[in-house]
Chains A and B, each alone.
Chain A
Amino acid sequence: MQDLTEPLVELIRRTSTDLPPDVEKALTAAREREDSGSAARGAMDAILQNVALSRRNSTPICQDTGTPIFYVRYPEGWSARKLKEQIRNAVAEATKRSYLRPNAVDAISEKNSGNNLGDDSFPTIHFEEVEGDEVVVDLMLKGGGCENVGAQYSLPNSALGAGRDLKGVRKAALDAVQKAQGQGCAPGILGIAIGGDRGSSYYASKEALFRPIEDENPDPELAALEKQLTEETNQLGIGPMGFGGKTTTVATKITGMHRLPASFFVTVSYMCWAHRRRRMTVRGAEVIYE
């Protein structure tokens, strides 16, 4: 089994410092929509300058490098135990090289571990054994500002007049975005899970954020709702940084799950404009980053 520690450090470096092209493209389009001279336009200018600068200097796009969330798909014969050790070593090394901020704080003692290694969920690593012979590692860095404005609704919700259907889902999502204001670092990307239990629904809402910005949901009903929610949340007028403006949401990604007959959860994970996600594929001796 290959030692992937160094390639994993490189994956972390790219994720923290080099914003994916689909996200940058969407932000550039959002900038064009804001009135020239407005605070919103000024915010988008600073955001795009920062994206270019971070890429050029290999410095973190945002100082809040979040919880590193890894999804590892590996073929038979690889050891998840060893991969986990390599990922944890890579996270500590990337912290030493200032690609990540030391972010793991013991909630009881208040002590920051200093190297981003905490309990078993910090960093978060999901493993799945798959067919084939490639190892694919997806990494997402999600900061605390946007994580804090995520929300979960249990439908029906009478305050919102939200029933157990897609119309109810729409109302819950609109409410979450209005409550977030600019605090999740708008313009944001919405990952929404419908169904599941409280825990699985939150995971699924984040997994939805791995989808490319411009892709279309294969389910036409969900595709229509994604489009509608992006448009309607933009009508709220919150705008970049909450300064007021035309773009509050860049894209919406919805996923459906199975649920218990008694439960109908709608979970909204809000991703900030600094949507840092990258993939690494190991094919034999070759390592490919995208």
Chain B
Amino acid sequence: MRALSLPISEEAIRSLNVGDPVALSGVMITGRDAAHKWMSDTFIKKTRQPQGDDLEVYEAIKPLLVGGAIYHCGPVVSGLDTKDYRFVAAGPTTSTREEPYQGDVMRHFNIRAVIGKGGMGAKTLAACKEVPGVYLHAIGGAASLIAQTVQKVTGVYKLSFGVPEAMWVIEVRDFPAVVTMDAHSNSLHADIEAKSKAELERLLAV
């Protein structure tokens, strides 16, 4: 198990390879479908004018994302009434839905670690090489276990997106994941996809 602290240095990122188990500590931010679309439309493609608290949130999340990690997660959170927030269950969500946005979001904010499940495609892999960055696979469904690594919820942005879609700022200790896409153009997901496809062709021919 390789211990990594956030933000992650470029050197540390380049030393990671597909298959490496890691334990992350530090501050990260959650962001999934609504957040990625919002970041892309408002600040990258600029197809939409900033409105409401958009600019304020943008300035607040920027320093958290530089060299940092974004976690594809829609948690169960307690303390919504009192704002004494606590993560009750917080496993990863399927990352491939962010494939259209992720590479550009990584480049824009200089994000070095994307955490989720199920892996991502060629566009994100290219960004991993460029930025550089890695994709870290957390265990899907292991929500109570992962929530225990969340020491503190230090803030939340865009709660108007709803609890699962909001951007939660969390402090984690020894958050477990496995490198499945690295900065050297290797992807475990591309490998498994290709091998299983070949096996499928064989089975279909039987």
Partners in one complex: yes
Residues of A within 8 A of B (CB): 39, 42-43, 46-47, 49-50, 53-54, 57, 59-65, 98, 100-103, 105, 110-112, 114, 143-145, 148, 160-161, 171, 174-175, 178, 181-183, 185, 232, 235-239, 241-244, 272-274
CB of A110 within 8 A of CB of B140, answer no
CB of A185 within 8 A of CB of B195, answer no
Closest Cβ–Cβ distance, residue A228 to chain B (whole Å): 10
Residues of B within 8 A of A (CB): 19, 21, 34, 73-78, 88-91, 93-94, 96, 117-119, 137, 139-148, 161-165, 176, 178, 180, 188-189, 191-193, 195-197, 199-200, 203-204
CB of B192 within 8 A of CB of A181, answer yes
CB of A145 within 8 A of CB of B76, answer no
Our pick among B148, B164, B203 for the contact of A102 (Cβ within 8 Å) is B164
Contacts A42-B21, A103-B164, A235-B199 known; list 11 others, CB within 8 Å: A46-B176, A50-B144, A50-B145, A61-B89, A101-B76, A110-B161, A183-B94, A183-B96, A183-B118, A235-B203, A243-B137
- Interface SS of chain B: mixed
Bound: A188/B176 CA distance, A: 22
Closest Cβ–Cβ distance, residue A127 to chain B (whole Å): 29
Bound: A110/B193 CA distance, A: 33
The interface residues of chain B lying within 8 Å CB-to-CB of A53 are 144-145, 148
CB of A238 within 8 A of CB of B162, answer no
CB of B199 within 8 A of CB of A46, answer no
CB of A182 within 8 A of CB of B89, answer no
Bound: A106/B85 CA distance, A: 25
Our pick among B93, B143, B162, B180 for the contact of A114 (Cβ within 8 Å) is B162
Across the interface, name the chain B residue whose C-beta is closest to A102: B163
Bound: A266/B87 CA distance, A: 39
The interface residues of chain B lying within 8 Å CB-to-CB of A63 are 73-76, 88-91, 143, 147, 164
Across the interface, name the chain B residue whose C-beta is closest to A100: B76
Bound: A174/B176 CA distance, A: 32
CB of B119 within 8 A of CB of A236, answer no
B19, B77, B189, B192, most chain A CB atoms within 10 A: B192
The interface residues of chain B lying within 8 Å CB-to-CB of A112 are 161-165
Bound: A53/B178 CA distance, A: 21
CB of A185 within 8 A of CB of B140, answer yes
